[in-house]
A and B are shown apart, each in its own frame.
Chain A
Amino acid sequence: MSETINFKIDGQSVSVPKGTTVMQAAYQMKIKIPHFCWHPGLSVAGVCRFCLVKVEGRPKLEIACNLQASEGMEILTDTPEVKEAHKWALEFHLVNHPLDCPICDQAGECGLQNYYMEVGKYQSQMERPKVLKPKALDVGGDLVLDTERCILCSRCVRFEKEVTKSEALGIFDRGDHAIIGTYPGKKIEHKYTTNLVDICPVGAFTSKDFRFKQRVWFLKDKQSVCPGCSTGCSIDLFAKEQTGTYYRIKPREGESNGYWMCDTGRGMYRHLNIETRQRFHYVSKNGQKIDIDQKESLNQLASKIKEVGPEHVSLLVSAQYTNEEYEAFFDFFVGKLGVKKVYQWREPTEKLNDFDGILLRGDRNSNTHGLMATLKKYGVGNQKIGNEFDIAVSSAAKVVIALVPEIPATFPSLQSNLQTLVSLNFVSFWTVNSEIEKIKGAKHVVPVKGFSEKKGSFTNHFGKLGHLTSPFVSVIEGINCVASTTRKLSEYF
């Protein structure tokens, strides 16, 4: 029954399956039709009346979001009549809008502002005073709600109903007194709240975590993959490049996540900031910490490995690094040196098979499946997913190279595990975060790059690759990823 419809938008021909709306087709063709209430991940509401288009041969303008394409239809999105309609639709949306852009956190990425710059720019015609409504309400989760800024598009209401199924938001009262809100005295409780900030086309919902920290136009965003769990949501990471300060994460449309991401994933930028990063190579001698440069550091590690011999070396590997890093790491240690003892380092309390029914998985590692595939390829280690930390500790290797989990927030036992390792013979900690600095006496520490600073890929829960394509430059000088650190180390052999 997949009948095809041929029609035209602004003269461009397109074929779509029957049932496709004009808005959906335009979205795929990257033709912009202004809209507030329509969202590709939600049902059609048709309430903002902003997406009006001209259908050739029909007298009245029609809304594109609820208009099914039919054979031979010709749509025009850019006639004077359409533009005039947009102007008026915008005017009505602005009647009661407080226009507090200078103190609104949405400024710079606000649908109202953007459309005003495109189709508006005129004197307001209204003489009546604006209707005042409650502002700065804490409605739970990451959310602050300003009901005056709301244009009643109902996206948030549909998100609560269709995506989280929590139905925590409603529109109360009516007319120009209609107001968005939770049930009196109740708060939103699910773990997907910041998506409401993203889909709200105006600044009615803003994020507690992000608001007032930065004006968005000072931030640079790059495509990345969330390392918060094995779902591997596609994300955009926002940072101030000059200072290397990361501010927020937003979902990017992707196969594994659709349009959304969870609130846990939103926090995956924090560990990247300099305050919590391992910045220097160091060794400890008689309890004293001595900073050394990379050359000296890798030279010392190479000598140590040569001294004890590869048969007394073991690798303790967490599942939070990229496929490319595992490949280079195992290629050298297992392939070239012949190290045999390889152990997985996983959170002992993890509930591997947990799934919240939306996106978040109990496997809080970005690359469990990539690590398993590499282990299999090199024929080392246990071929089953499982924590082998205790076995690694009791195996009494003379030298342990440990790829420390990158994200302390997803690894509650990190501190206690590090404590245990520091008491061992000789452990070389390769680490993104500076958790190891909280413990005295680590024998050898190597800083490595975080997920935002390198290229590479993670293999997610479904076996699909998520690509880290556009890294930010690290503000930590001379830092390398695990792969190039390994290559540099190999030069001493």
Chain B
Amino acid sequence: MNSSNNSSIFSEKLKTVIEKELTRYETKRSAILPICHAIQDECGWVQEKHIDALEKEYSLNRIQVKEVLTFYKAYKQSEPKKFEIEFCDNIVCCMMGAKDAMAKIEELIEKQGVNSEFGLKGVPCLGVCDQAPAMLVNKDRHHKITNENVEKVLSRYSSTI
């Protein structure tokens, strides 16, 4: 619509979100969180070029953006694979066998040669300790994962490759 700003790398939709978030809080800094979420939702991950553009177009300080991105594990700073497994490695999940299950996942990925499609990382608490161990595959949540049932859960994804 407004063509004066069409050199932006952000889509019109994203620009609308960013501008709205920037006016929502007392300080611009507070808007970094929802803005990065919006970017990640649309682009898959937050890239250097996005940080550059946030600084140039919206005067958001790049140091502060980076602080936020590195503080929260939920932000992705490298290109996500087709399936990103985020396994909770905090205390309750670990007590219930998270480490074993993660080792099993690694083994499976290796064995099936699906390294380029599957990524695995440990993340902080997913908020379902009563269903531990828990993991996310992209946006799907899975509970009570053990090294016995994990292969079956993952086959749902690997069969689509």
A contact set with B: CB distance below 8 Å: 167-174, 182-184
Chain B neighbourhood of A169, CB < 8 A: 63
Q: Does B25 contact A (CB under 8 A)?
A: no
> B61 and A171: CB pair below 8 A?
no
Type the 1/0 row for B39-68, where 1 means its CB is closer than 8 Å to any CB of A: 000000000000000000000011110110
Residues A168 and B63 in contact, CB atoms below 8 Å apart: yes
How long is the Cα–Cα vector from A173 to B67 in the complex, in angstroms? 7
Out of B62, B64, B71, which one reaches A173, CB within 8 Å? B71
CB distance from B109 to the nearest CB of A (A): 25
Q: At the interface, yes or no: B70 with Cβ under 8 Å from chain A? A: yes
- Report yes or no: B62 in contact with A183, Cβ–Cβ below 8 A: yes
Select from chain B the residue with minimum beta-carbon distance to A185: B48
- List B contacts of A171 (CB < 8 A): 67
CB distance from A169 to the nearest CB of B (A): 7
What is the bound-complex CA distance between A168 and B66, given in angstroms?
12
Q: B70 to chain A: which residues have CB within 8 Å?
A: 172-174
In the bound assembly, the distance between CA atoms of A184 and B63 in angstroms comes to: 9
B63 near A167 with CB under 8 A, answer: yes
Interchain CA distance A171-B66 in the complex, whole Å: 9
Docked pose: A167 CA to B64 CA in angstroms? 9
The prevalent SS among residues of A at the interface is: loop
Q: How far is the CB of A285 from chain B (nearest CB, A)?
A: 64
Chain A hits for B64, CB < 8 A: 167, 170
Considering the complex, give the chain A residue whose CB is closest to the CB of B61. Answer: A167
Most A CB contacts (10 A, CB to CB) among B61, B64, B70 go to B70
Specify the chain A residue showing the minimal Cβ separation from B70: A172
- Residue ID in chain B nearest A157 by CB atoms: B63
> Measured between alpha carbons, how far is A184 from B52 in the docked complex, in Å?
13
B53-90 interface (Cβ within 8 A of A): 61-64, 66-67, 70-71
Given A170-B63, A172-B70, A172-B71; 7 other pairs, CB 8 A cutoff: A172-B66, A172-B67, A173-B70, A174-B71, A182-B63, A183-B63, A184-B66
- Residues from chain A with Cβ under 8 Å of B63 in the complex: 167-170, 182-183
CB distance from B137 to the nearest CB of A (A): 24
Closest-CB distance, A363 to chain B (whole angstroms): 34
Task: Number of B interface residues at 8 Å Cβ cutoff, please give it.
Answer: 8
Chain B positions within 8 Å of A174 at CB level: 70-71
Q: Kindly list chain A residues whose C-beta atoms are within 8 Å of the C-beta of B71.
A: 172-174
User: Can you offer 23 A-B residue contacts whose CB atoms are under 8 A?
Assistant: A167-B61, A167-B63, A167-B64, A168-B63, A169-B63, A170-B63, A170-B64, A170-B66, A170-B67, A171-B67, A172-B66, A172-B67, A172-B70, A172-B71, A173-B70, A173-B71, A174-B70, A174-B71, A182-B63, A183-B62, A183-B63, A183-B66, A184-B66
Q: How far is the CB of B123 from chain A (nearest CB, A)?
A: 13
A23 to B64, CA, bound (A): 28
Residues of B within 8 A of A170 (CB): 63-64, 66-67
Complex Cα spacing A170 to B66, Å: 8
Across the A-B interface, the 6 shortest Cβ-Cβ residue pairs = A170-B63, A172-B70, A170-B67, A173-B70, A174-B71, A167-B61
Residues on B with C-beta less than 8 A from A168 are: 63
C-alpha spacing A182/B66, complex, angstroms: 10
How far, in angstroms, from A171 to B68 measured CA to CA in the complex?
Answer: 9
In the complex, which residues of chain B have a beta carbon less than 8 angstroms from the beta carbon of A173? 70-71
Contact residues in A for B62 (Cβ distance below 8 Å): 183
Which chain B residues numbered 106 to 153 have a C-beta less than 8 Å away from chain A? Answer: none
In the bound complex, residues from chain B placing their C-beta under 8 Å from that of A167 are: 61, 63-64
Give Cα A183 to B54, complex, Å.
Answer: 15
CA distance A218 to B133 in the complex (A): 59
Q: Collect the chain B residues with CB atoms within 8 Å of residue A183's CB.
A: 62-63, 66
The residue in chain A whose Cβ has the minimal distance to the Cβ of B48 is A184
> Which chain B positions have C-beta within 8 A of A184?
66
**Chain B residue with minimal CB distance to A174?**
B71
Which residues of chain A are within 8 angstroms of B67 by Cβ–Cβ distance? 170-172
Identity of the chain B residue whose Cβ is nearest the Cβ of A172 in the assembled complex: B70
Residue of B nearest to A171 (CB): B67
Complex CA–CA separation, A257 to B63 (angstroms): 28
A450: min CB distance to chain B, Å: 41
Inter-chain CA distance A172–B67, complex, in Å, is: 5
Tell me the complex Cα distance, A173–B124, Å.
13
Interface centre among B63, B66, B71 (most CB of A within 10 A): B63
Inter-chain CA distance A169–B66, complex, in Å, is 11
Bound-complex Cα distance A173 to B69 (A): 8
Per the bound structure, the CA–CA distance linking A173 and B71 in Å amounts to 4
* Least Cβ–Cβ distance between A185 and chain B, in angstroms: 10
CA distance A112 to B62 in the complex (A): 31
Give the nearest-CB partner of B69 in chain A: A172
Cα-based distance from A173 to B70 in the complex (angstroms): 5
- Would you give the shortest CB distance from A134 to chain B, in whole angstroms? 14
Of chain A, the residue at the smallest CB distance from B51 is A183
What is the minimal beta-carbon distance from B78 to any residue of chain A, in angstroms?
Answer: 13
Which residues on the A side are within 8 Å of B66 (C-beta)?
170, 172, 183-184
**How distant is B152 from chain A, measured CB to nearest CB, in Å?**
34
Q: What residue in chain B is nearest A168 (Cβ atoms)?
A: B63
